[in-house]
């Protein structure tokens, strides 16, 4: 498979602009009405990533026009199991906006979600831009100000999570909300590849994993994202949050649930969902 994130491939699609706009309109309406919609692959195809990212760009523009501020990115499909499920050999990315951050909130409002799932991740907060240079392992490590434990509440506007890779990319990488932990650690204090994770829902263990489950190392995921973001014309910037990808299987969340993720070296993070 050629790399759709290389500068030579970015934006190359044979899908008509009218179809891309129709797909974006379908997803925007699903978000506005809080009601799942049909997949958009009938409009843009199941694996045309240039078309899917073009749809995503329309959604991002709509959010910005409505006053939302970009605060970072999320990386999806970082585990081998998810890649095999979707028939791909690479991750994808979506955008984080200021109103998606529920860190410190008393509860996560279910009314904002359609069909949520929770996954535990290492989040990075950047202390430097990642817009120039080789964007290799050493550079991205040096750009990290600190890491924290995170819960990403992934969600899909596509009914029944009936998604192809193109569907999830178009749908802002199936993003929802997120919660960050309070224990900040520099990369001198914690090595992301070495962390272990345990996630519970209402006290029952539902997911376990480790740093190596995320593209072999969460820092590999960050380096991949830095190159992809630059190729798409909006590099990662200092102060932004990056959700680096799941450390273990994601799980469905029901109203009233309490989700807790414990990540070694980074402490714990809790999300309580409204009833």
Q: Is the pLDDT of residue 65 over 80?
A: yes
Would you say the pTM of this structure is higher than 0.85?
yes
Does the pLDDT at position 12 exceed 90? no
Residue 6 has a pLDDT of 60
Note the pLDDT of residue 5.
63
pLDDT at 116 over 50: yes
How far is 163 from 184, CA to CA, in rounded Å? 35
pLDDT over 90, % of the chain = 91
First CA to last CA distance, the chain:
44
User: In terms of DSSP bridges, do strands 70-76 and 241-246 run parallel, antiparallel, or are they unpaired?
Assistant: parallel
pLDDT of residue 80: 80
CATH (one of 3.30.460.80, 3.90.850.10, 3.50.50.60, 3.40.190.10) for 17-272 = 3.90.850.10
pLDDT > 80? residue 227: yes
For residue 7, the model assigns a pLDDT of 56
Checking if the pLDDT of 146 tops 80, the result is: yes
pLDDT at 4 exceeding the cut of 70: no
Cα 149 from Cα 243, distance rounded (Å): 10
Cα–Cα distance list, 224 to 47, 73, 95, 262 (Å): 19, 12, 15, 25
Neighbour tally for 61: CB within 10 Å: 11
Highest mean pLDDT out of 9-13, 20-24, 84-88: 20-24
Per-residue pLDDT at 1: 43
What is the C-alpha to C-alpha distance for residues 1 and 121, in angstroms, rounded to an integer? 27
For 9-13, 21-25, 214-218, which range has the lowest pLDDT when averaged over its residues? 9-13
Count of alpha carbons within 13 angstroms of residue 122, beta-carbon side = 35
pLDDT score at 84: 76
Query: Shortest CA distance to 144 belongs to which of 219, 246, 234?
Result: 219
Q: Give me the pLDDT at residue 176, please.
A: 97
Domain boundaries, the chain: 17-272
Cα angle: 147, vertex 170, 40; to 5 degrees: 150
């Amino acid at each position: 498979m050629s790399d759709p994130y290389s500068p030579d491939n970015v934006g190359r699609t044979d899908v008509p602009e009218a179809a891309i706009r129709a797909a974006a309109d379908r997803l925007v309406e699903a978000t506005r009405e809080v009601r799942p919609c049909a997949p958009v692959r009938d409009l843009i195809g199941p694996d045309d990533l240039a078309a899917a990212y073009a749809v995503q760009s329309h959604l991002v523009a709509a959010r910005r026009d409505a006053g939302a501020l970009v605060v970072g990115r999320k990386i999806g499909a970082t585990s081998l199991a998810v890649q095999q499920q979707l028939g791909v050999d690479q991750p994808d990315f979506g955008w984080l906006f200021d109103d998606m951050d529920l860190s410190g909130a008393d509860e996560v409002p279910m009314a904002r979600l359609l069909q949520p799932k929770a996954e535990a991740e290492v989040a990075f907060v950047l202390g430097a831009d990642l817009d120039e240079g080789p964007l290799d392992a050493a550079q991205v490590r040096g750009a990290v100000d600190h890491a924290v434990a995170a819960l990403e509440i992934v969600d899909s506007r596509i009914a029944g999570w009936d998604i192809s890779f193109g569907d999830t990319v178009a749908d802002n990488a199936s993003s929802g909300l997120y919660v960050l932990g309070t224990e900040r650690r520099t990369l001198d204090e914690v090595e992301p590849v070495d962390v272990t994770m345990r996630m519970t829902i209402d006290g029952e263990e539902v997911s376990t994993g480790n740093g190596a489950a995320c593209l072999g190392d969460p820092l590999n995921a960050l380096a991949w994202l830095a190159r992809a973001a630059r190729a798409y014309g909006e590099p990662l910037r200092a102060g932004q949050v990056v959700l680096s990808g799941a450390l273990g299987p994601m799980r469905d969340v029901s109203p009233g649930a309490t989700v807790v993720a414990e990540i070694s070296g980074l402490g714990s993070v809790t999300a309580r969902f409204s009833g």
